[in-house]
């Protein structure tokens, strides 16, 4: 299997409803394509990881690259040799970060901001952060 993660910027403001509708369609399609993953939204930045069969991943990567609702899509890491899914729990988990988050999420949010304020975000740190989110005791999905 393949796995990749990218960061991008929203073009227009995404409301919770926009995101909810996006996730509804994404989960349906990801299920059909055998894709799993997680999307963190740290207004105005999207940070997403996707994993699954190579053909599905390549197809989705191309689809995402031509989606005009976000821009400056920057792939920060790829793994073309993934043996076991790391985000099997979600056809697309979605968590909104931002101000006012409690405890562990606040720490996560600060670290996401730090990683993406670097000129070239570190793929290794980004991957580590995604795994930590997955393993958080009360890791839940917003939308």
Ligand X SMILES: Cc1cc2nc3c(=O)[nH]c(=O)nc-3n(C[C@H](O)[C@H](O)[C@H](O)COP(=O)(O)O)c2cc1C
Interacting residues with ligand X (CB under 6 A) = 22, 26, 29-30, 39, 46, 48, 50, 60, 63-64, 67, 69-70, 92
**Do 78 and 2 touch, CB atoms closer than 8 A?**
yes
Q: Closer to ligand X at the Cβ: 72 or 80?
A: 72
Provide, rounded to whole angstroms, the least separation between the CB of residue 75 and ligand X: 13
Q: Closer to ligand X at the Cβ: 29 or 106?
A: 29
Provide, rounded to whole angstroms, the least separation between the CB of residue 137 and ligand X: 25
For residue 93, which of 29, 136, 50, 45 has the smallest C-alpha distance? 50
| Tokens (6 digits) for 134 | 């997955």
Provide, rounded to whole angstroms, the least separation between the CB of residue 33 and ligand X: 7
DSSP string, 2-58: EEEEEEEEESSPPPHHHHHHHHHHHHHHHHHHT-EEEEEEETTEEEEEEEE-HHHHH
Provide, rounded to whole angstroms, the least separation between the CB of residue 103 and ligand X: 26
Q: Closer to ligand X at the Cβ: 31 or 114?
A: 31
Q: Closer to ligand X at the Cβ: 69 or 107?
A: 69
**Do 72 and 45 touch, CB atoms closer than 8 A?**
no
């Amino acid at each position: 299997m393949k796995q990749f993660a990218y960061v991008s910027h929203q073009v227009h403001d995404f409301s919770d409803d926009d995101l909810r509708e996006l996730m509804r369609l994404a989960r349906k399609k990801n299920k059909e394509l055998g894709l799993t993953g997680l999307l963190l939204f740290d207004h105005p930045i999207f940070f997403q990881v996707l994993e699954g069969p190579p053909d599905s991943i390549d197809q989705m990567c191309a689809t995402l690259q031509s989606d005009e609702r976000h821009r400056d899509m920057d792939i920060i890491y790829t793994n073309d040799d993934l043996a076991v899914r790391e985000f099997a729990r979600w056809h697309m988990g979605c968590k909104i970060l931002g101000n006012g988050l409690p405890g562990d999420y606040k720490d996560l949010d600060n670290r996401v901001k730090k990683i993406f304020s670097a000129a070239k975000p570190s793929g290794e740190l980004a991957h580590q952060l995604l795994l930590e989110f997955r393993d958080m005791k009360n890791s839940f999905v917003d939308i």
